[in-house]
Amino acid sequence: MAELARTARSDHRARVLKAATEAFLENGYDTTSTAEIARRAKVSKRELYTYFEDKRDILAAVITDLQADIQSQTTVSWSSTGDVRGVLIEAGTELLRFINSERFGKLFRIVAAESFHDPVSSRKFYLLGPAMGRKNTAAFLKRHMVAGNLRTADPLQAADDFLDMLVSSRYLTAVVLGQMRSFPKPQVHVEHAVDLFLTYYGANNSHEKSRS
């Protein structure tokens, strides 16, 4: 009986999150009410408030759900035993596909707009997204530095260099403004970024030779 109650509670909470995500993306955060979210989720407002304190708490949960999605996708890539170039291309392509999605673009705009009023949610967005991605990328690069597949360097700096080439400020600006048509297809962009990265960090690159 208790197990059935927990399952029902989890299902209802998931429905609220799904409804909130859809409403936020369709109508924006400000114009979406908790009553609208409850209506879409087919739960009462009273039940909605048993799962979340307020609308900002719902937004924070939506952010967590979104970032968990991308981290689960890229973690699979980072755990791959393939060659460095192949894994970087695979992970980079997954990341850009996610960033290029309508879901991410709209939520990114919402978080940016709310950042002055709700610094907690914006910090959560950063910690679960860019900060976690940086950490996972650095861990992957460090393993390959130890294995001799990349030259020895600061893994975090190397991760920053790779991610900055992959998702530049110009790229993110285009995502926010919905102007992605001016960029090449993700696969082409990723391969270019990976090859530039390996020119500098590859185990047998000219930069390392010039320093020795």
Residues 50-84: b if buried by 16+ CB within 10 A, e if exposed: ebbeebeebbbbbbebbbeebbeebeebbeeeeeb
Paired with 202 in beta bridges are 150
Angle between helices 155-166 and 132-146 (to 10 degrees): 120
Q: How many CB atoms lie within 10 A of CB 208?
A: 15
**Length of the chain, please?**
212
Q: What is the pTM of this model?
A: 0.78
Ranges of residues in the chain with a pLDDT under 70 are: 1-9, 73, 76, 180, 182-184, 205-212
Q: Identify the pLDDT of residue 205.
A: 64
Q: Identify the pLDDT of residue 210.
A: 43
Over the stretch 72-86, which tens digit does the pLDDT of each residue have?
767 767 877 789 999
Q: Identify the pLDDT of residue 212.
A: 44
Q: Identify the pLDDT of residue 6.
A: 57
Q: With the C-alpha atoms ordered 143, 135, 66, 109, is the resulting torsion angle positive or negative?
A: negative
